[in-house]
Amino acid sequence: MITIKNGLVLVGFNLQPQKTNVIINDEGMITKLSPTHQEGEIIDATDCIVTPAFINAHTHIADTIIKDQADGMTIQEIVEPPHGLKHRKLGEATDEELITQMHQTAKEMLYNGISTFIDFREGGIHGIELLKKATYDLPINACILGRSSKYHDEDLTPEQARLITRELLQHCDGIGLSGIQDINYENIIEIARVCHEEDKLALIHVAEYYQLQEQSLQQTNQTEIELALKAGFTTLVHTTHPVLQDLELLVESSPFIVACPRSNGMLSVGVPPLSAYTENGLDVALGTDNVMFNQPDMFREMEYTLKAIRATYTNKITAKDVLKMATINGFKILGKDISISEGNVSDILVIKQKSTDPYLSIVNRSTPEDIMNFIIGNQM
């Protein structure tokens, strides 16, 4: 048994601050929230905030091998498959280089209070297995979304896409596609369908920059967001540039949105309208995206998000909204409730409180050095 006592605990889905003790049993389950009860090992959280741990909801951690090598290049030159810089460099790297670099990045995420990350893993089954090797001895949860280079073959049929996807899904948690215009649309529909049949995740990049929306409208008379929703995707990555009726379609379909504001900023592609999304009841999660241009640090991501959104849009966003994006909302994508509630198995951070507002204290002022304790299930 573990008792976290004397802390300000952010309780439930709404992260409601309460002065209470958190009692956790040996299986990692929160058995009681009580201002007086305690038992087992004591973690003193005096002058600290007790919060759900972070989830990094969108990463490409293999890109660790090319940190800061793409500055000044266009987004197409950097990431467009199959010949963008990242794809060439990934192809040139040895297995040992990739495993070593991904292992180091996963360790950095743990240091930053991240218990779980959702990774778009290129390289087919082999690439998936490399990431498993990189994280097998670390207490971090890797949700691996695979992808096959064969998806980009012009003569690939929907039936072939279906078979490739079924094989991939035997090794990973779902599929992460590079973009709605990168692959034959009928194949994209089939990939999403197989994921749903297998009860696996299906995520896709959409509307990351405005030109993609223009191209999609010119070629199909539909936006990237519209096409992705029609194909059956329930989690969309980026959605930096909704246009025309996109916001209405998003509200109607209620997908999860994974935003990567620092990545968008580094690539000069804009600021996602997260305040509009939250005002309309959409669940937004945060990801740090490519390690080639961003450290996988959710403290940095949250602070940048709060300030960039407030600087760009007249409709405001709160620090509490942003903290939910880095914690509760991302886990919803995985179908998990890790809120600090009785009966839950939660990943928990104890963070030094640096101001009277607990949300701003974490989002605006905290760093990894302020983490006093980190509990993943029942692991400390």
The residue type at 209: Y
Q: pLDDT tens for residues 272-330? A: 999 999 999 999 999 999 999 899 999 999 999 999 999 999 878 999 999 999 999 99
Token pair 């896409």 is found at 161
Contact status, residue 266 vs residue 293, Cβ threshold 8 Å:
yes
Distance CA 272, CA 37 (A): 44
Question: 70 by DSSP, 3-state: which?
Answer: coil
Q: What is the pLDDT of residues 22-33, one digit of tens each?
A: 999 999 999 999
**pLDDT computed for residue 379 by the predictor:** 54
Sign, Cα dihedral of 5, 363, 117, 205: positive
Query: If you ran DSSP here, which 8-state letter would residue 64 be given?
Result: G
Q: Collect the ranges in the chain with pLDDT lower than 70.
A: 378-380
The domains found in the chain, sorted by start residue, are 2-52+338-376 (2.30.40.10), 54-333 (3.20.20.140)
Average pLDDT, the chain: 95
Amino acid letter for position 178: S
pLDDT for 380 equals: 41
pLDDT number for residue 84: 85
The stretches of the chain forming alpha helices (DSSP H) are: 75-79, 85-92, 95-111, 124-135, 158-169, 185-197, 210-220, 224-231, 246-253, 261-266, 274-279, 298-312, 319-326, 328-333, 358-360
Neighbours of 68 (CB within 10 A): 7
Bridge partners of 379, per DSSP, are: 376
pTM: 0.96
Between CA 153 and CA 158, with CA 154 as vertex, the angle to 5 degrees is: 80
The pLDDT value given to residue 285: 98
Question: Please, which contacts does 341-346 make with residues 24 or more away whose CB atoms are closer than 8 Å?
Answer: 341/11, 341/12, 341/30, 341/33, 342/30, 342/31, 342/32, 342/33, 343/29, 343/30, 344/29, 344/30, 345/27, 345/28, 345/29, 345/30, 345/377, 346/28, 346/30, 346/52, 346/53
Q: What is the pLDDT of residue 378?
A: 47
Tokens of 94: 């040895």
pLDDT value for 87: 82
261 cis-preceded (ω within 30 degrees of 0): no
pLDDT digits (tens, 9 = 90+) for 199-228: 999 999 999 999 999 999 999 999 999 999
Q: What would the 3-class secondary structure string for 263-287 be?
A: HHHHCCCCCCCHHHHHHCCCCEEEC
Q: What is the pLDDT of residue 91?
A: 86
- Tell me whether residue 172 is exposed, middle or buried, using C-beta atoms within 10 angstroms of its C-beta: 0 to 12, 13 to 18, 19 or more: buried
- CA–CA dist 100, 98 (Å, integer): 6
Of 12, 49, 13, give the one whose Cα is nearest residue 33: 12
Helix (H, G, I), strand (E, B) or coil at 380: coil
